[in-house]
Amino acid sequence: MKRIRSVGIVGTGSYVPPKILTNSDLEKMVDTSDTWIVERTGIRERRISSPETTASSLALPASLAALQSAGVKPEDVDLIIVATSTPDMTFPSTACFIQDKIGASRAACFDLSAACTGFSYALETGQQFIATSTYKTALIVGAEVISKVLDWTDRNTCILFGDGAGAAVLQPVADNYGILATSLGADGRLASILELPVAGCIHMSGREVFKVAVNTMIEAVEKVLDSAGISQEDVSLLIPHQANIRIIEAMGKRLNIAQDRVFVNLQKYGNVSAGSTIIALDEAVKQGRVKDGDIIVIVAFGGGLTWGATVMRWGG
Ligand code: UT7
Protein backbone atom coordinates (compact mmCIF):
# COMPACT_ATOMS: atom_id res chain seq x y z
CA MET A 1 0.00 0.00 0.00
CA LYS A 2 1.46 3.34 -1.02
CA ARG A 3 1.50 6.29 1.36
CA ILE A 4 -1.54 8.61 1.26
CA ARG A 5 -0.56 12.27 1.43
CA SER A 6 -2.32 15.65 1.23
CA VAL A 7 -2.52 17.18 -2.24
CA GLY A 8 -3.24 20.77 -3.16
CA ILE A 9 -3.27 23.27 -5.99
CA VAL A 10 0.08 25.08 -5.88
CA GLY A 11 -0.30 27.21 -9.01
CA THR A 12 -2.99 28.35 -11.45
CA GLY A 13 -3.15 30.01 -14.86
CA SER A 14 -5.74 30.85 -17.47
CA TYR A 15 -6.08 32.22 -20.96
CA VAL A 16 -8.98 33.38 -23.11
CA PRO A 17 -8.76 34.35 -26.78
CA PRO A 18 -8.88 38.10 -27.46
CA LYS A 19 -11.95 38.26 -29.72
CA ILE A 20 -15.06 39.37 -27.80
CA LEU A 21 -18.57 38.50 -28.99
CA THR A 22 -21.12 40.73 -27.24
CA ASN A 23 -24.82 40.20 -26.76
CA SER A 24 -25.49 42.98 -29.27
CA ASP A 25 -23.33 41.10 -31.81
CA LEU A 26 -25.57 38.07 -31.19
CA GLU A 27 -28.70 40.20 -31.79
CA LYS A 28 -27.53 40.43 -35.41
CA MET A 29 -27.08 36.65 -35.71
CA VAL A 30 -30.19 35.12 -34.03
CA ASP A 31 -33.58 36.29 -32.74
CA THR A 32 -32.44 37.38 -29.28
CA SER A 33 -31.78 40.51 -27.26
CA ASP A 34 -29.19 41.79 -24.82
CA THR A 35 -31.99 42.21 -22.25
CA TRP A 36 -33.13 38.59 -22.57
CA ILE A 37 -29.61 37.18 -22.33
CA VAL A 38 -28.63 39.34 -19.34
CA GLU A 39 -31.89 38.70 -17.44
CA ARG A 40 -32.00 34.95 -18.09
CA THR A 41 -28.30 34.14 -17.86
CA GLY A 42 -26.22 37.10 -16.59
CA ILE A 43 -23.88 36.77 -19.59
CA ARG A 44 -22.83 40.02 -21.36
CA GLU A 45 -20.03 38.81 -23.61
CA ARG A 46 -17.91 35.76 -24.38
CA ARG A 47 -14.59 35.01 -26.11
CA ILE A 48 -14.46 33.31 -29.50
CA SER A 49 -11.29 31.75 -30.91
CA SER A 50 -10.00 32.13 -34.45
CA PRO A 51 -10.58 29.25 -36.93
CA GLU A 52 -7.04 27.84 -36.53
CA THR A 53 -7.14 27.90 -32.69
CA THR A 54 -7.31 24.56 -30.86
CA ALA A 55 -7.91 23.56 -27.25
CA SER A 56 -4.17 22.94 -26.85
CA SER A 57 -3.26 26.35 -28.23
CA LEU A 58 -5.49 28.02 -25.60
CA ALA A 59 -4.08 25.65 -22.97
CA LEU A 60 -0.46 26.56 -23.75
CA PRO A 61 -0.39 30.06 -22.15
CA ALA A 62 -2.68 28.85 -19.33
CA SER A 63 -0.35 25.93 -18.56
CA LEU A 64 2.83 28.03 -18.69
CA ALA A 65 1.25 30.57 -16.33
CA ALA A 66 0.21 27.82 -13.91
CA LEU A 67 3.72 26.32 -13.92
CA GLN A 68 5.28 29.72 -13.41
CA SER A 69 3.01 30.56 -10.48
CA ALA A 70 3.86 27.17 -8.94
CA GLY A 71 7.58 27.62 -9.59
CA VAL A 72 7.64 24.28 -11.41
CA LYS A 73 9.67 23.54 -14.55
CA PRO A 74 7.90 21.73 -17.41
CA GLU A 75 10.39 18.84 -17.18
CA ASP A 76 9.31 18.23 -13.57
CA VAL A 77 5.68 17.52 -14.56
CA ASP A 78 4.87 13.82 -14.14
CA LEU A 79 1.31 13.82 -15.45
CA ILE A 80 -0.91 15.97 -17.66
CA ILE A 81 -4.67 15.48 -17.60
CA VAL A 82 -6.84 17.55 -19.92
CA ALA A 83 -10.57 17.86 -19.43
CA THR A 84 -12.18 18.87 -22.71
CA SER A 85 -15.21 18.25 -24.90
CA THR A 86 -13.47 19.90 -27.84
CA PRO A 87 -10.12 18.07 -28.14
CA ASP A 88 -7.64 18.95 -30.89
CA MET A 89 -8.14 15.42 -32.26
CA THR A 90 -9.68 12.13 -31.15
CA PHE A 91 -6.07 11.02 -30.78
CA PRO A 92 -3.38 11.98 -29.95
CA SER A 93 -4.88 13.33 -26.76
CA THR A 94 -4.87 17.10 -26.27
CA ALA A 95 -2.63 16.38 -23.25
CA CYS A 96 0.05 15.03 -25.65
CA PHE A 97 -0.09 18.22 -27.72
CA ILE A 98 0.26 20.32 -24.56
CA GLN A 99 3.16 18.12 -23.38
CA ASP A 100 5.01 18.86 -26.60
CA LYS A 101 4.17 22.59 -26.58
CA ILE A 102 5.39 23.17 -23.01
CA GLY A 103 8.27 20.67 -23.14
CA ALA A 104 7.02 18.41 -20.32
CA SER A 105 8.83 15.45 -21.84
CA ARG A 106 8.60 13.17 -18.78
CA ALA A 107 4.84 13.49 -18.31
CA ALA A 108 2.26 10.77 -18.82
CA CYS A 109 -0.69 12.24 -20.74
CA PHE A 110 -4.37 11.63 -21.20
CA ASP A 111 -7.66 13.44 -21.77
CA LEU A 112 -10.78 12.99 -19.74
CA SER A 113 -14.41 13.58 -20.73
CA ALA A 114 -16.97 14.83 -18.23
CA ALA A 115 -18.29 17.87 -20.15
CA CYS A 116 -18.57 20.98 -17.95
CA THR A 117 -17.70 18.89 -14.85
CA GLY A 118 -14.43 17.89 -16.52
CA PHE A 119 -12.14 20.01 -14.37
CA SER A 120 -13.62 18.56 -11.16
CA TYR A 121 -13.16 15.01 -12.46
CA ALA A 122 -9.60 15.78 -13.62
CA LEU A 123 -8.71 17.43 -10.32
CA GLU A 124 -9.80 14.38 -8.36
CA THR A 125 -8.04 12.01 -10.78
CA GLY A 126 -4.78 13.93 -10.50
CA GLN A 127 -5.17 14.11 -6.74
CA GLN A 128 -5.39 10.32 -6.52
CA PHE A 129 -2.10 9.82 -8.40
CA ILE A 130 -0.26 12.18 -6.07
CA ALA A 131 -1.94 11.08 -2.84
CA THR A 132 -0.72 7.54 -3.48
CA SER A 133 2.81 8.82 -4.28
CA THR A 134 2.60 7.49 -7.84
CA TYR A 135 3.51 10.99 -9.05
CA LYS A 136 4.67 14.22 -7.42
CA THR A 137 3.51 16.90 -9.89
CA ALA A 138 0.42 16.96 -12.10
CA LEU A 139 -0.79 19.60 -14.53
CA ILE A 140 -4.59 19.63 -14.68
CA VAL A 141 -6.11 21.52 -17.61
CA GLY A 142 -9.64 22.47 -18.64
CA ALA A 143 -9.61 23.76 -22.22
CA GLU A 144 -12.41 24.36 -24.70
CA VAL A 145 -12.98 25.77 -28.17
CA ILE A 146 -16.68 25.26 -27.66
CA SER A 147 -17.57 27.92 -30.27
CA LYS A 148 -16.60 25.33 -32.89
CA VAL A 149 -19.34 22.91 -31.80
CA LEU A 150 -22.20 25.40 -31.51
CA ASP A 151 -25.11 25.71 -33.89
CA TRP A 152 -24.92 29.46 -34.51
CA THR A 153 -28.57 29.44 -35.67
CA ASP A 154 -29.83 27.96 -32.36
CA ARG A 155 -30.55 30.78 -29.91
CA ASN A 156 -31.14 28.26 -27.11
CA THR A 157 -27.46 27.35 -27.01
CA CYS A 158 -25.23 29.69 -29.03
CA ILE A 159 -25.69 32.61 -26.63
CA LEU A 160 -24.46 30.62 -23.63
CA PHE A 161 -20.93 29.43 -24.36
CA GLY A 162 -17.43 30.81 -24.88
CA ASP A 163 -13.85 29.64 -25.43
CA GLY A 164 -10.96 29.56 -22.96
CA ALA A 165 -8.60 27.46 -20.88
CA GLY A 166 -7.38 27.18 -17.31
CA ALA A 167 -4.70 25.08 -15.65
CA ALA A 168 -3.69 24.05 -12.15
CA VAL A 169 -0.52 22.45 -10.82
CA LEU A 170 -1.04 19.79 -8.13
CA GLN A 171 1.62 18.74 -5.65
CA PRO A 172 1.84 17.33 -2.13
CA VAL A 173 1.07 19.94 0.56
CA ALA A 174 1.16 20.03 4.38
CA ASP A 175 -1.33 17.90 6.29
CA ASN A 176 -4.80 19.46 6.64
CA TYR A 177 -4.20 21.63 3.58
CA GLY A 178 -5.15 21.02 -0.03
CA ILE A 179 -8.06 18.87 -1.13
CA LEU A 180 -10.06 17.81 1.92
CA ALA A 181 -12.95 16.02 0.21
CA THR A 182 -14.39 15.43 -3.26
CA SER A 183 -17.76 14.15 -4.41
CA LEU A 184 -18.31 13.16 -8.04
CA GLY A 185 -21.57 11.93 -9.52
CA ALA A 186 -23.32 11.08 -12.76
CA ASP A 187 -26.74 10.05 -14.05
CA GLY A 188 -26.53 8.55 -17.52
CA ARG A 189 -30.33 8.35 -17.75
CA LEU A 190 -30.25 12.11 -18.30
CA ALA A 191 -27.71 11.90 -21.15
CA SER A 192 -30.10 13.24 -23.79
CA ILE A 193 -30.90 16.58 -22.10
CA LEU A 194 -27.41 17.92 -22.79
CA GLU A 195 -25.36 16.32 -25.54
CA LEU A 196 -22.67 16.87 -28.13
CA PRO A 197 -22.85 14.10 -30.73
CA VAL A 198 -19.64 13.17 -32.59
CA ALA A 199 -19.19 15.65 -35.46
CA GLY A 200 -22.36 17.45 -34.34
CA CYS A 201 -23.39 20.50 -32.32
CA ILE A 202 -24.45 20.96 -28.70
CA HIS A 203 -28.11 20.24 -28.06
CA MET A 204 -29.75 21.05 -24.74
CA SER A 205 -33.11 21.08 -22.94
CA GLY A 206 -32.24 24.14 -20.90
CA ARG A 207 -35.10 24.09 -18.40
CA GLU A 208 -34.53 20.43 -17.44
CA VAL A 209 -30.77 20.94 -17.11
CA PHE A 210 -31.38 23.98 -14.92
CA LYS A 211 -33.37 22.05 -12.30
CA VAL A 212 -31.00 19.10 -12.09
CA ALA A 213 -28.00 21.45 -11.97
CA VAL A 214 -29.21 23.34 -8.92
CA ASN A 215 -30.19 20.20 -6.98
CA THR A 216 -27.13 18.09 -7.76
CA MET A 217 -24.65 20.89 -7.09
CA ILE A 218 -26.25 21.69 -3.74
CA GLU A 219 -26.15 18.00 -2.74
CA ALA A 220 -22.52 17.68 -3.86
CA VAL A 221 -21.45 20.75 -1.85
CA GLU A 222 -23.31 19.53 1.24
CA LYS A 223 -21.68 16.13 0.89
CA VAL A 224 -18.09 17.43 0.68
CA LEU A 225 -18.56 19.88 3.54
CA ASP A 226 -20.00 17.08 5.62
CA SER A 227 -17.12 14.67 4.79
CA ALA A 228 -14.55 17.36 5.59
CA GLY A 229 -16.37 18.38 8.80
CA ILE A 230 -16.68 21.99 7.62
CA SER A 231 -19.76 24.17 7.98
CA GLN A 232 -21.25 26.48 5.34
CA GLU A 233 -20.20 29.56 7.36
CA ASP A 234 -16.56 28.51 7.11
CA VAL A 235 -16.55 28.57 3.30
CA SER A 236 -14.43 31.57 2.26
CA LEU A 237 -15.22 31.33 -1.44
CA LEU A 238 -17.56 29.18 -3.51
CA ILE A 239 -16.43 28.80 -7.12
CA PRO A 240 -19.36 27.41 -9.09
CA HIS A 241 -19.55 26.39 -12.74
CA GLN A 242 -20.20 29.62 -14.62
CA ALA A 243 -23.28 28.65 -16.63
CA ASN A 244 -26.11 30.88 -15.47
CA ILE A 245 -26.29 33.56 -12.75
CA ARG A 246 -29.76 32.34 -11.75
CA ILE A 247 -28.39 28.83 -11.09
CA ILE A 248 -25.53 30.30 -9.04
CA GLU A 249 -27.83 32.57 -7.00
CA ALA A 250 -30.33 29.79 -6.33
CA MET A 251 -27.53 27.55 -5.12
CA GLY A 252 -25.94 30.21 -2.92
CA LYS A 253 -29.30 31.00 -1.33
CA ARG A 254 -30.14 27.38 -0.53
CA LEU A 255 -26.64 26.72 0.80
CA ASN A 256 -26.74 29.86 2.92
CA ILE A 257 -23.58 31.20 1.32
CA ALA A 258 -23.94 34.95 0.72
CA GLN A 259 -23.24 36.19 -2.81
CA ASP A 260 -20.14 38.08 -1.67
CA ARG A 261 -18.61 34.67 -0.96
CA VAL A 262 -19.54 33.34 -4.41
CA PHE A 263 -17.22 34.01 -7.35
CA VAL A 264 -18.87 35.04 -10.62
CA ASN A 265 -17.20 35.91 -13.93
CA LEU A 266 -19.73 34.52 -16.40
CA GLN A 267 -20.69 38.04 -17.50
CA LYS A 268 -17.32 38.20 -19.30
CA TYR A 269 -16.85 34.67 -20.63
CA GLY A 270 -20.19 32.82 -20.67
CA ASN A 271 -19.99 29.10 -20.08
CA VAL A 272 -16.47 27.83 -20.89
CA SER A 273 -17.44 24.23 -20.08
CA ALA A 274 -14.43 22.37 -18.63
CA GLY A 275 -12.49 25.64 -18.53
CA SER A 276 -15.11 27.41 -16.44
CA THR A 277 -14.22 26.74 -12.79
CA ILE A 278 -10.44 26.78 -13.24
CA ILE A 279 -10.53 30.11 -15.09
CA ALA A 280 -12.71 31.42 -12.25
CA LEU A 281 -10.32 30.07 -9.59
CA ASP A 282 -7.34 31.64 -11.34
CA GLU A 283 -9.10 35.02 -11.52
CA ALA A 284 -10.09 34.76 -7.87
CA VAL A 285 -6.44 34.10 -6.94
CA LYS A 286 -5.26 37.05 -9.05
CA GLN A 287 -7.85 39.32 -7.44
CA GLY A 288 -6.53 38.41 -3.99
CA ARG A 289 -9.77 36.67 -3.05
CA VAL A 290 -8.01 33.42 -2.12
CA LYS A 291 -5.67 33.54 0.86
CA ASP A 292 -3.64 30.95 2.75
CA GLY A 293 -5.89 28.93 5.02
CA ASP A 294 -9.10 29.84 3.17
CA ILE A 295 -11.72 27.17 2.58
CA ILE A 296 -12.50 27.07 -1.14
CA VAL A 297 -15.27 25.00 -2.70
CA ILE A 298 -15.37 24.26 -6.42
CA VAL A 299 -18.63 22.84 -7.80
CA ALA A 300 -19.75 22.02 -11.32
CA PHE A 301 -22.32 20.16 -13.41
CA GLY A 302 -22.54 19.26 -17.05
CA GLY A 303 -23.46 16.79 -19.78
CA GLY A 304 -23.80 13.19 -18.71
CA LEU A 305 -25.35 14.48 -16.62
CA THR A 306 -22.32 14.77 -14.38
CA TRP A 307 -21.57 16.81 -11.27
CA GLY A 308 -18.82 17.22 -8.74
CA ALA A 309 -17.66 19.28 -5.78
CA THR A 310 -14.27 19.68 -4.13
CA VAL A 311 -13.48 21.38 -0.84
CA MET A 312 -9.92 22.49 -0.17
CA ARG A 313 -7.93 24.49 2.34
CA TRP A 314 -5.73 26.84 0.33
CA GLY A 315 -1.99 26.94 0.89
CA GLY A 316 0.24 24.66 2.90
O1 UT7 B 1 -22.89 23.51 -18.54
C2 UT7 B 1 -24.25 23.20 -18.61
C3 UT7 B 1 -24.86 24.09 -19.63
N4 UT7 B 1 -26.26 24.25 -19.57
C5 UT7 B 1 -26.90 25.10 -18.75
O6 UT7 B 1 -26.38 25.65 -17.83
C7 UT7 B 1 -28.33 25.29 -19.05
C8 UT7 B 1 -29.19 25.55 -17.88
N9 UT7 B 1 -30.39 26.24 -18.33
C10 UT7 B 1 -30.40 27.57 -18.51
O11 UT7 B 1 -29.42 28.25 -18.28
C12 UT7 B 1 -31.70 28.19 -18.94
O13 UT7 B 1 -32.70 27.21 -18.99
C14 UT7 B 1 -31.60 28.90 -20.32
C15 UT7 B 1 -30.80 30.17 -20.19
C16 UT7 B 1 -30.96 27.98 -21.35
C17 UT7 B 1 -32.98 29.28 -20.80
O18 UT7 B 1 -33.63 30.10 -19.85
P19 UT7 B 1 -35.11 29.77 -19.38
O20 UT7 B 1 -35.50 30.85 -18.45
O21 UT7 B 1 -35.12 28.37 -18.86
O22 UT7 B 1 -35.91 29.93 -20.71
P23 UT7 B 1 -36.80 28.84 -21.47
O24 UT7 B 1 -35.95 27.81 -22.10
O25 UT7 B 1 -37.88 28.42 -20.56
O26 UT7 B 1 -37.39 29.73 -22.60
C27 UT7 B 1 -38.26 30.85 -22.33
C28 UT7 B 1 -38.56 31.55 -23.63
C29 UT7 B 1 -38.98 30.59 -24.75
O30 UT7 B 1 -39.98 31.23 -25.52
P31 UT7 B 1 -41.54 30.85 -25.29
O32 UT7 B 1 -41.62 29.39 -25.56
O33 UT7 B 1 -41.81 31.22 -23.85
O34 UT7 B 1 -42.22 31.71 -26.30
C35 UT7 B 1 -37.73 30.45 -25.57
O36 UT7 B 1 -38.00 30.14 -26.92
O37 UT7 B 1 -37.39 32.21 -24.12
C38 UT7 B 1 -37.15 31.83 -25.47
N39 UT7 B 1 -35.72 31.87 -25.72
C40 UT7 B 1 -35.08 33.00 -26.09
N41 UT7 B 1 -35.50 34.24 -26.31
C42 UT7 B 1 -34.59 35.17 -26.66
C43 UT7 B 1 -34.82 30.85 -25.61
N44 UT7 B 1 -33.60 31.32 -25.93
C45 UT7 B 1 -33.73 32.63 -26.22
C46 UT7 B 1 -32.83 33.64 -26.60
N47 UT7 B 1 -33.30 34.89 -26.80
N48 UT7 B 1 -31.51 33.40 -26.74
Q: Looking at ligand 1, which atom is closest to the CA of residue 243?
A: 6
Ligand 1 lined by 245 (C-beta under 6 Å): no
Tens of pLDDT, residue by residue over 185-224, are: 999 999 999 999 999 999 999 999 999 999 999 999 999 9
Q: How far is the CA of 207 from the centre of ligand 1 (A)?
A: 7
Catalytically active residues are 116, 241, 271
Strands 178-186 and 164-172: unpaired
Ligand 1 lined by 32 (C-beta under 6 Å): yes
Tens of pLDDT, residue by residue over 233-288, are: 999 999 999 999 999 999 999 999 999 999 999 999 999 999 999 999 999 999 99
* pLDDT for residue 295 is more than 80: yes
Q: For residues 223 and 241, what is the distance between their CA atoms, to the nearest angstrom?
A: 17
Q: Which amino acid is at 22?
A: T
In the chain, what percentage of residues exceed pLDDT 70? 99
Closest protein CA for atom 6 of ligand 1: 243
Q: Identify the bridge partners of residue 168 per DSSP, sorted by sequence position.
A: 12, 140
What is the reported pLDDT for 101? 98
Tens of pLDDT, residue by residue over 125-161, are: 999 999 999 999 999 999 999 999 999 999 999 999 9
Q: Is 293 left (phi over 0), alpha (psi -120 to 50) or beta?
A: left
**Which of 201, 193, 110, 162 shows the shortest CA–CA distance to 280?**
162
* pLDDT for residue 1 is more than 60: no
**For the whole prediction, is pTM greater than 0.95?**
yes
Q: How far is the CA of 210 from the centre of ligand 1 (A)?
A: 10
Phi, psi angle pair for 79, to nearest 5°: -150, 135
Q: How far is the CA of 244 from the centre of ligand 1 (A)?
A: 10
Q: Is 297 helix (H, G, I), strand (E, B) or coil?
A: strand
What is the reported pLDDT for 243? 98
What is the reported pLDDT for 289? 97
pLDDT band of residue 4 (cuts 50, 70, 90) is confident
Q: Identify the bridge partners of residue 178 per DSSP, sorted by sequence position.
A: 313
Scored b (16 or more CB within 10 A) or e, 138-164 reads bbbbbbbbbbebbeeeebebbbbbbbb
Tens of pLDDT, residue by residue over 35-89, are: 999 999 999 999 999 999 999 999 999 999 999 999 999 999 999 999 999 999 9
Question: From the DSSP assignment, how many helices (H) and strands (E) are in the chain?
Answer: 9, 13
Closest protein CA for atom 47 of ligand 1: 32
Using alpha carbons only, how large is the chain's radius of gyration in Å? Answer: 18
